[in-house]
A = this chain, B = another copy of it.
Amino acid sequence: MSHGMNLRYAGLEAGGTKFVCAIGTGPNDIHAQEQFPTRTPEETIRKTIEFFKAQEPFAAMGIATFGPCDLDSGSPTYGHITSTPKSGWENVNILSIFRQAFPIPIGFDTDVNVAAFGEWKWGAGQGLDTAVYLTVGTGIGGGGIVNGRMMRGLIHPEMGHIRVPRVSNDTFAGNCPYHGDCLQGLAAGPAIEARWGKSAPELPRNHPAWKMEARYLALAVNDLVCVLSPQRIILGGGVMHQTHLFPLIRQEVRILLNGYVQSPMILERIDEYIVPPGLGDRSGVLGAIALAKQMAEKAKG
């Protein structure tokens, strides 16, 4: 086993839609990559393990999982996915399965915290003390970096489940299985499709869906600014591929804050404040590699 080969890292973005696996050391040095649709835990995890087994050796692994998940190493359900509405995945002990397959240091956090970490290491969050990554796709989730560390606390952020005021002409009930009309229930991809009968990519740019979507996401950004005051807010995920949303969101955020937060980043340079991911769709899997690297360095002491 060569020393060089051992300094590769395994990154897994275990998302609700797909599992993205990569081996490498950073954004410009990916040795292998593969993805599998998220089906049953058995099938999806088996394929993932097969991919990584074929890539051995590597020094450490980072797992970025959809959640909620248990990050408390003192808890009996540490490393489990917990109360997910995703059928079959509730209470899956994902960390333990990978630990049994790969006896190396394994880092474990939420997909969005790890994406924020990836952006902080190599993307749009570089050099900042605090940054938030919010993904808007099949669900809405957010994570962040505060003073160089991924956000944890009681559990971890679940930013998609904040409550926002309804846009006045919106009669859609909301489709979050836990909360109905929380942010995710009103503004994630499936909510757009359920409300308008067409998916985000099918809706023309001049459709009223976009102004409404921008308003909901601006309400979320407003709340993130008020609660966390991050130095940058990175918006990723499938819905944000509709890049015409960015100027609409920025405009609505300025209307909502109404000059109260007197920072040049909001008053003068909001284009640099609310931004797409620097790593495109790779924030999660590259963040997982960055997390693996950090685990390997910690293990070395």
Interface set of A (CB-CB < 8 Å, partner B): 68, 70, 82-83, 129-130, 142, 146-147, 149, 151-166, 178-179, 181, 219, 222-231, 256-263, 265-266, 273
Contact = CB atoms under 8 A, between A and B. Distances in A.
Given A83-B260, A155-B261, A262-B82, A163 B231 contact: no
A66 to B, nearest CB: 14
A226 B161 contact: yes
Contacts of A224: 227
A226 B157 contact: yes
B230 A227 contact: no
A165 B163 contact: yes
A225 B68 CA distance: 13
Nearest to A84: B260
B227 A159 contact: yes
Contacts of A159: 226-227
A83 to B, nearest CB: 5
Given A162-B222, A178-B258, A259-B178, A157 B82 contact: no
A223 B162 contact: yes
Contacts of A256: 163, 179
A7 B151 CA distance: 36
A54 B23 CA distance: 67
28 contacts: A68-B261, A83-B260, A83-B261, A83-B262, A129-B152, A142-B227, A147-B149, A151-B228, A151-B229, A153-B228, A153-B230, A153-B231, A155-B229, A156-B229, A157-B229, A158-B260, A161-B222, A161-B226, A162-B223, A162-B226, A163-B256, A164-B165, A178-B259, A178-B260, A223-B223, A227-B227, A227-B228, A228-B228
Given A146-B146, A147-B149, A68 B228 contact: no
**CB-based closest 4 A-B pairs:** A153-B229, A130-B153, A178-B260, A162-B223
Contacts of A82: 262
Contacts of A273: 154
A154 B225 contact: yes
Which of A83, A157, A258 is packed against the most chain B CB atoms within 10 Å? A258
A101 to B, nearest CB: 26
Which of A166, A256, A260 is packed against the most chain B CB atoms within 10 Å? A260
B258 A158 contact: no
A35 B265 CA distance: 37
A269 B275 CA distance: 39
Contact of A68 (B83, B178, B262): B262
A155 B129 CA distance: 12
A123 B180 CA distance: 37
